[in-house]
């Protein structure tokens, strides 16, 4: 036995060697500036507190002013200038990171034509133009004019000049069209006027086109965005409300990622689909308009859309802080950079926070005071507004690396919608770390009430495990977290400050995607003093630090048990009888959920025991791998072949109202009206098996690793 021979007889030498290693790790002279990493390095609460104090509201304000000074539509020169700004900040010798690089993809974007502006006009039966909609928003603050303000348009809507009678189609949902048909209204060849809300942008065009409609207009209704107010003196710049001329721009593409390179990074050499064969684009010309114009449209309307597709270069910027102990574990923190116009709220409020956080951490790093246990990757994504393109291409390019090594993804897009409360979305394992962070930080202007205690007043639920807690939302596909959670199975979250819903029913902050979303708007109406920005910086920063620095990963995987249990109960209560009628048993699902709960509970106990004992660094690493990789076990790329990118069996899109496992819910709603033994019922069984296998597999990874 080699080690006995070599080492057994020379215990003294081994101890000396060991002592040397230990000394190397621990015996740093008091007051030294450059600590040598210890493999037992853990979260340092003093450093955390000092970081919290250094996150500065006025600097966030200055960041925002600089970021939103000019419109910076994806791939525009101003967007490129911001790439340079980020690189400069992240390479700063005094407050920069270890390294920063831009990486560029060649992606398919859609723009209105400069030469032929899109136009919406009311025409007489003889073809005379009786009225034309505005082609740009009113220049109320001097920032809505100029060549860099992209005119309102529906990105990816095809060009065309349809003309027809106007039909009001409410929100353009399937239900809305069924109602119109029931009223005997002829839709063929008409122009549909729809309002934002109720369904996705692209879905409005898709639903509409099915009924033979020739063109779609989409407007923002004051009832949906302005709590009903619409006059000039009630709206921006006199309040935060949307002016009559404001128009919400947006992408009307149904999927996400570069439309020409699904599942492939949009590198110049990558295979590209023929744009004519791309699915997910709106099928008919579509144009957004303001409510000022919407209210006077009538009769025959002509819509002229001259959008065109262009291959453009769009960059992500990545900034890295190398982990001291586990550099191969990445905590990612990102936000997009591109905006429709100035984008002060969307997305610069998030980027302003990002830059302040990276400044504080970079400064500690450059001083040698601190280096995280794990690596931190800051990301500024390109072309999010066109469909989460930069982040999606990134996940496609670094698929393997991220699947192996990413601990979690933190997204802070719009950091402040409003000043009332924290709002967080995420998968269950991140709940505990957000709670822990938010309990330690005071809420702005509330006399010391913590962010957590304020949060619970606005959003809460009764947890069977914890009692009353703030409620975490679930992640859809509204921002760059989507490819991380749905395509890669990385535990993700989105953090922001948001509304008091008793004070406004606005669908979203009113100037969203308009030329009125400017620095002045934020400074005056959204967050004067920037204390909510600071609160978000602190919360997200604390979450980031806890994930990057804690010896034991603060991902509480057993919190998934609550979700599984509630999905299971919803299935039993709402689908149980139906399934029984088709001889489909939920017993295997019940068993799988129980196994998950059992394995997660036992794991919790092993963690507690290990935390009390002297931790062996490999044991901790093995345990952390179980925690990190749990989310990955819920992925099945063959589960939903028709849903591009969606592979997570718990968070794929769900149609229908039962809040349960999406594959099961969707298959049931499709099978509902088919006969016994139909292929649709077989699909229900298949989805149930996919789910059971995923849950059993997840539970298996939580059991003691030596049991196989």
Token pair of 265 as six digits? 């990074």
Token pair of 333 as six digits? 């923190």
Q: At a CB cut-off of 8 Å and minimum separation 6, what does 507 contact?
A: 196, 197, 224, 225
Q: How far is the CB of 43 from a copy of itself (least distance, A)?
A: 8
Site string for a copy of itself, 360-389 (x = CB under 8 A): ---------xx----x-x------------
CA-CA distance, 147 to 71, in Å (whole number)? 10
174 is catalytic: no
Q: At a CB cut-off of 8 Å and minimum separation 6, what does 184 contact?
A: none
Taking the CB of residue 594, how many other CB atoms lie within 10 A of it?
Answer: 16
DSSP type of residue 162: -
Catalytic residue among 106, 254, 356, 384: 384
Q: With respect to a copy of itself, which residue has the nearer C-beta, 393 or 413?
A: 393
Show the DSSP H helices in 28-186 as ranges. 45-54, 57-67, 77-90, 174-182
Window of 179-187, 420-428, 593-601, 609-617 that interacts with a copy of itself by CB under 8 A = 609-617
CA-CA distance, 77 to 99, in Å (whole number)? 24
Among 96, 164, 327, 554, binds a copy of itself (CB under 8 A): 327
14: contact with a copy of itself by CB under 8 A:
yes
Q: With respect to a copy of itself, which residue has the nearer C-beta, 461 or 686?
A: 686
224: contact with a copy of itself by CB under 8 A:
no
Q: At a CB cut-off of 8 Å and minimum separation 6, what does 680 contact?
A: 667, 670, 671, 674
672: contact with a copy of itself by CB under 8 A:
no
Binders of a copy of itself among residues 614 to 633 (CB under 8 A) are 614, 616-618, 621-622, 625-626, 629, 632-633
CA angle 223, 228, 231 (to 5 degrees): 125
Site string for a copy of itself, 462-481 (x = CB under 8 A): --------------------
Residue with tokens 């947006």: 250
Binders of a copy of itself among residues 280 to 299 (CB under 8 A) are none
21: contact with a copy of itself by CB under 8 A:
yes
Q: With respect to a copy of itself, which residue has the nearer C-beta, 47 or 659?
A: 47
Residue with tokens 């002297």: 614
34: contact with a copy of itself by CB under 8 A:
no
**DSSP states of 396-461:** HHTHHHHHHHEEEEEE-SS-BS-SSEEEEEE-GGGHHHHHHHHHTSBPTTSTT-BHHHHHHHHSEE
Q: How far is the CB of 321 from a copy of itself (least distance, A)?
A: 10
42: contact with a copy of itself by CB under 8 A:
yes
Question: Which of these, 54, 46, 83, 49, lies nearest to 67 by C-alpha position?
Answer: 83
Q: How far is the CB of 432 from a copy of itself (least distance, A)?
A: 21
Token pair of 134 as six digits? 């505005």
Among 587, 609, 613, 676, binds a copy of itself (CB under 8 A): 587
Q: With respect to a copy of itself, which residue has the nearer C-beta, 65 or 322?
A: 322
328: contact with a copy of itself by CB under 8 A:
yes
CA-CA distance, 472 to 450, in Å (whole number)? 17
Q: How far is the CB of 380 from a copy of itself (least distance, A)?
A: 14
461: contact with a copy of itself by CB under 8 A:
no
DSSP type of residue 275: G
Among 94, 188, 274, 642, binds a copy of itself (CB under 8 A): 274
345: contact with a copy of itself by CB under 8 A:
no
Binders of a copy of itself among residues 404 to 433 (CB under 8 A) are 404-405
Q: At a CB cut-off of 8 Å and minimum separation 6, what does 400 contact?
A: none
Window of 79-87, 201-209, 271-279, 657-665 that interacts with a copy of itself by CB under 8 A = 271-279
44: contact with a copy of itself by CB under 8 A:
yes
CA angle 237, 242, 248 (to 5 degrees): 130
330: contact with a copy of itself by CB under 8 A:
yes
Q: At a CB cut-off of 8 Å and minimum separation 6, what does 421 contact?
A: 443, 454, 455, 457, 458, 459, 497, 498, 499, 500
CA-CA distance, 632 to 694, in Å (whole number)? 10
Window of 20-28, 114-122, 222-230, 443-451 that interacts with a copy of itself by CB under 8 A = 20-28
Among 53, 279, 585, 655, binds a copy of itself (CB under 8 A): 585
Q: How far is the CB of 205 from a copy of itself (least distance, A)?
A: 27
Window of 5-13, 110-118, 205-213, 462-470 that interacts with a copy of itself by CB under 8 A = 5-13
318: contact with a copy of itself by CB under 8 A:
yes
678: contact with a copy of itself by CB under 8 A:
no
695: contact with a copy of itself by CB under 8 A:
no
| Number of residues engaging a copy of itself in binding (CB under 8 A) | 102
Crossing angle for the helix pair 201-210 and 174-182, to the nearest 10 degrees: 30
Q: With respect to a copy of itself, which residue has the nearer C-beta, 65 or 686?
A: 686
Among 182, 609, 676, 706, binds a copy of itself (CB under 8 A): 706
Cis status of the peptide bond prior to 347, with omega within 30 of 0: yes
Q: How far is the CB of 450 from a copy of itself (least distance, A)?
A: 22
Q: At a CB cut-off of 8 Å and minimum separation 6, what does 661 contact?
A: 567, 571, 649, 650, 687, 691
**DSSP states of 12-26:** HHHHHHHHHHHHHHH
Q: With respect to a copy of itself, which residue has the nearer C-beta, 300 or 678?
A: 678
- Chain-centre distance of CA 175, in angstroms? 28
Question: Which of these, 430, 540, 429, 427, lies nearest to 486 by C-alpha position?
Answer: 427
Binders of a copy of itself among residues 640 to 659 (CB under 8 A) are 641
Binders of a copy of itself among residues 246 to 265 (CB under 8 A) are 261, 263-265
Contact present, 334 and 378 (Cβ < 8 Å):
yes
Site string for a copy of itself, 514-553 (x = CB under 8 A): ----------------------------------------
22: contact with a copy of itself by CB under 8 A:
yes
Enumerate the active-site residues. 384
């Amino acid at each position: 036995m080699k080690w006995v021979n070599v080492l057994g007889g020379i215990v003294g030498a081994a101890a000396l060697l060991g002592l040397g290693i230990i000394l190397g790790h621990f015996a740093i002279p008091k007051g030294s500036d450059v600590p040598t990493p210890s493999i037992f390095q853990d979260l340092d609460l003093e450093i955390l507190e000092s970081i919290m104090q250094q996150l500065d509201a006025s600097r966030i304000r200055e960041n925002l002013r600089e970021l939103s000074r000019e419109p910076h539509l994806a791939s525009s020169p101003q967007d490129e200038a911001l790439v340079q700004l980020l690189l400069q900040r992240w390479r700063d010798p005094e407050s920069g990171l270890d390294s920063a690089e831009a990486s560029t993809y060649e992606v398919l974007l859609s723009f209105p034509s400069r030469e032929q502006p899109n136009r919406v006009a009311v025409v007489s039966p003889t073809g005379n133009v009786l009225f034309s909609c505005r082609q740009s928003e009113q220049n109320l603050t001097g920032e809505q004019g100029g060549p860099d303000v992209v005119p309102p348009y529906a990105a990816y809507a095809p060009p065309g000049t349809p003309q027809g009678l106007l039909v009001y189609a409410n929100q353009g949902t399937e239900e809305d069209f069924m109602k119109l048909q029931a009223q005997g209204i002829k839709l063929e060849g008409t122009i549909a006027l729809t309002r934002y809300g109720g369904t996705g942008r692209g879905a409005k065009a898709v639903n509409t086109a099915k009924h033979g409609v020739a063109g779609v207009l989409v407007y923002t209704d004051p009832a949906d965005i302005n709590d009903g107010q619409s006059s000039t003196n009630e709206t921006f710049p006199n309040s935060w409300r949307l002016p009559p001329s404001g128009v919400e721009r947006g992408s009307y593409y149904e999927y996400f990622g570069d439309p020409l390179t699904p599942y492939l990074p949009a590198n110049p050499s990558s295979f590209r689909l023929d744009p004519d064969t791309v699915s997910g684009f709106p099928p008919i010309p579509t144009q957004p308009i303001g409510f000022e114009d919407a209210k006077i449209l009538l009769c025959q309307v002509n819509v002229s859309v001259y959008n065109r597709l262009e291959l453009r270069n769009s960059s992500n910027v990545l900034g890295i802080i190398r982990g001291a102990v586990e550099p191969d574990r990445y905590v990612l923190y990102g936000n997009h950079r591109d905006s429709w116009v100035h984008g002060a709220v969307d997305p610069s409020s998030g980027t302003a926070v990002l830059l302040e956080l990276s400044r504080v951490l970079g400064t500690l790093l450059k001083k040698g005071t601190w280096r995280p246990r794990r690596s931190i990757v800051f990301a500024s994504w390109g072309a999010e507004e066109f469909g989460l393109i930069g982040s999606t291409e990134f996940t496609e390019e670094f698929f393997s690396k991220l699947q192996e090594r990413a601990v979690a993804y933190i997204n802070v897009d719009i950091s402040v919608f409003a000043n009332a409360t924290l709002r967080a979305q995420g998968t269950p394992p991140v709940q505990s770390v957000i709670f822990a962070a938010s309990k330690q930080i005071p809420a702005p202007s509330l006399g010391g009430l913590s962010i957590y205690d304020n949060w619970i007043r606005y959003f809460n639920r009764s947890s069977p495990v914890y009692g009353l807690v703030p409620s975490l939302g679930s992640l859809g596909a509204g921002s760059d977290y989507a490819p991380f959670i749905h395509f890669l199975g990385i535990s993700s979250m989105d953090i922001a400050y948001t509304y008091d819903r008793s004070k406004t029913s606005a669908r979203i902050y009113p100037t969203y995607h308009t030329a009125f979303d400017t620095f002045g708007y934020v400074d005056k109406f959204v967050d004067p003093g920037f204390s909510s920005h600071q609160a978000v910086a602190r919360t997200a920063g604390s979450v980031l630090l806890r994930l990057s620095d804690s010896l034991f990963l603060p991902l509480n995987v057993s919190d998934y048990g609550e979700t599984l249990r509630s999905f299971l109960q919803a299935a039993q209560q709402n689908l149980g009888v139906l399934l029984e009628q088709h001889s489909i048993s939920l017993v295997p699902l019940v068993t799988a959920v129980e196994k998950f709960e059992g394995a997660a509970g036992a794991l919790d106990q092993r963690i507690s025991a290990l935390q009390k004992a002297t931790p062996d660094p490999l044991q901790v690493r093995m345990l952390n791998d179980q925690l990190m990789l749990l989310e990955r076990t819920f992925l099945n790329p063959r589960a939903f072949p028709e849903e591009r990118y969606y592979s997570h069996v718990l968070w794929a899109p769900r149609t229908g109202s039962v809040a349960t496992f999406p594959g099961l819910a969707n298959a049931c709603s499709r099978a509902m009206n088919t006969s016994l033994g139909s292929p649709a019922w077989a699909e229900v069984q298949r989805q149930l098996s996919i789910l059971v296998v995923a849950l059993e597999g997840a539970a298996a990874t939580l059991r003691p690793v030596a049991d196989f």
